[in-house]
Structure 1
């Protein structure tokens, strides 16, 4: 019963969050935002706010949901170590079409390799407990202050968006709220390179892939275009990020690994 309740809860939150994002994206606010910044700050702000509101309103233990910053040097070390295989795999994006089947299969294989490489690289580092300090003070408000005045093509805009909005937003929703909620219900009976995990990591990765299949960004162009192959390889990417979350006990390292490679690429290219 507890497992079914957890799955229903996360599916409702997942669906509600994406629905609100779609509505915001199609609204006058969304259109104005893209004209001014050429990015989706408001949409990812919604992705940050919804799980935070839920956790606070239901009096959840934020630390148990990966929202902790204790031992920041440890989290940075985990991120820096895992960044090596992630960065190497990211180079392939310049060579393949990630939404086409050939590119998707290549990227999926690479993500599987990254998962094992990351596990091997991190196996000698200590695995964190759920203890930590609340991230409640890190909010879209603080991030938006940094983004104020950022213009399209600005390196600062790219860095702020990909790390503090896209990276933080997706990791807070998926590896923070969803994966943690499912871990509570399903437990973590399995081990991978010394790290305990459970069905929560796989279900979360599946929902992460589904979000990319839905391809809400295509709504902006006036025509919805599901991206099945994008969703396929991002499932495996979700496993990598989920493993790092279980290893570190926080969403800090996954957020850095998720957002920083894209931030660097777009900042350097001036997109």
Structure 2
């Protein structure tokens, strides 16, 4: 799926000029633009995206952990168990899942929907509208179509945060980092409570 999302994003956005790429928030510090790289811009944008992602982790992870315990009612206390290959797990979540999904759903789709339904509501510094909600809903439906279980619809709620980050920061870097962190945190909780191998 990740390759399909990246291919679609390339076809719809990345094969075009710098302005189109920037409009869709897909510059990633200039990394994906057809122009010479600026180390300063790459570092500045990377640090900014990382800062936003870490802030959202600090805000949302405690509440998610509390809700996770209520929902799953684990029989044993949490014991941290590292992944068999942490580098592999982190790389997969970032490069195979988060970046392709954020590039397509927040970069291409949310931008296209915002053009069709211009955002007019300011929420904590981000101007949002129906595009954010529609992109989050389509994201959730896509998750149910890949694994047919109603619980998969719950990704609608983090998708709202991903979409807000896209609107607030103007790019997909922060949402991609936060998305990967959410997936890694969820997997770590499941492993730590013995709910998954």
Q: TM-score, normalised by structure 2?
A: 0.73
Aligned to 2:172: 251
Partner in structure 1 of residue 34 of structure 2: none
CA separation of 1:155/1:264 partners in 2, compared to 1, >3 Å: closer, same or farther?
Answer: farther
What's 1:190 paired with?
121
Single out whichever of 48-57 and 77-86 deviates more from structure 2.
48-57
Are 2:49 and 2:177, in contact at CA under 8 Å, matched by a contact in 1?
A: no
**Aligned residue pairs, count:** 166
Q: Find the counterpart in structure 1 of residue 75 from structure 2.
A: none
- Aligned CA distance change for structure 1 residues 94 and 183 (closer, same or farther; 3 Å): same
Match of residue 18 from structure 1: none
Measure how far apart 1:250 and its partner are.
0.8
Q: Is 1:56 matched with 2:17? A: no
Which ranges of structure 2 fall in alignment gaps of 5 or more residues?
Answer: 30-40, 73-82
Aligned counterpart in structure 1 of residue 68 of structure 2, from 90, 93, 99: 93
Matched, 1:75 2:49: yes
Aligned to 2:98: 167
Match of 1:157 in 2: 88
CA distance in 2, matches of 1:205, 1:261: 15
CA distance, structure 2, for counterparts of residue 248 and residue 263 of structure 1: 22
Q: Which residue of 1 aligns with 2:133?
A: 202
Q: Is 1:67–1:250's contact at 8 Å kept on the other side of the alignment?
A: yes
> Do the aligned partners of 2:12 and 2:108 also contact (CA within 8 Å) in 1?
no
Q: Unaligned regions of 5+ residues in structure 1, if any?
A: 1-42, 98-151, 219-225
Large movers: runs of 4+ above 4 Å: 57-60, 264-271
